[in-house]
């Protein structure tokens, strides 16, 4: 299930899932739109994986908190894979591909 996350307490709850895939999306960037399409394709083909996203223009504060918490420079688009609350992998821009997300999840499963 994919959901838009707008509050840090909800984000923290979702991190309790075994695996959580999260996207920071910019509504004004063409590259981000392409990344969002890749993310949606991943979500549609992997319905059992917990997923969420935020729109940077609507939730800048949450975006900044996530960057600070996990010590990752803010970018958008930006994709994170968390496992049991820990950041395991992240990428941005053209690195956000459905196949790459699936490969990283297979790597975590080993």
Cα–Cα distances in Å, from 8 out to 13, 28, 41? Answer: 9, 23, 26
pLDDT at res. 7: 96
pLDDT band at 1 (very low <50, low <70, confident <90, very high): confident
Containing structural domain, residue 82: 2-109
Query: Per the omega criterion (within 30 degrees of 0), is the bond before 98 cis?
Result: no
pLDDT band at 81 (very low <50, low <70, confident <90, very high): very high
- Percent of the chain topping pLDDT 90: 95
SS3 annotation, the chain: CEEECCCHHHHHHHCCCCEEEEEEECCCCHHHHHHHHHHHHHHHHCCCCEEEEEECCCCHHHHHHHHHHCCCCCCCCEEEEEECCEEEEEEEHHHCCHHHHHHHHHHHHC
As a whole number of angstroms, the distance between CA 42 and CA 61 comes to 26
The total number of structural domains in the chain stands at: 1
Q: Is the per-residue pLDDT at 110 higher than 80?
A: no
pLDDT at res. 49: 96
CATH number for the domain harbouring residue 95: 3.40.30.10
pTM of this prediction?
0.95
């Amino acid at each position: 299930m994919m959901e838009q996350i707008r509050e840090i307490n909800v984000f923290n709850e979702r991190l309790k899932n075994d695996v959580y895939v999260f996207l920071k999306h910019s509504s004004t960037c063409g590259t981000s739109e392409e990344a969002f399409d890749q993310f949606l394709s991943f979500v549609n083909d992997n319905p059992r994986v917990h997923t969420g996203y935020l729109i940077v223009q609507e939730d800048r504060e949450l975006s900044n908190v996530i960057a600070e918490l996990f010590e990752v420079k803010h970018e958008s688009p930006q994709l994170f894979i968390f496992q049991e609350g820990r950041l395991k992998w992240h990428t941005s821009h053209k690195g956000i591909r459905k196949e790459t997300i699936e490969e990283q999840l297979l790597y975590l499963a080993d």
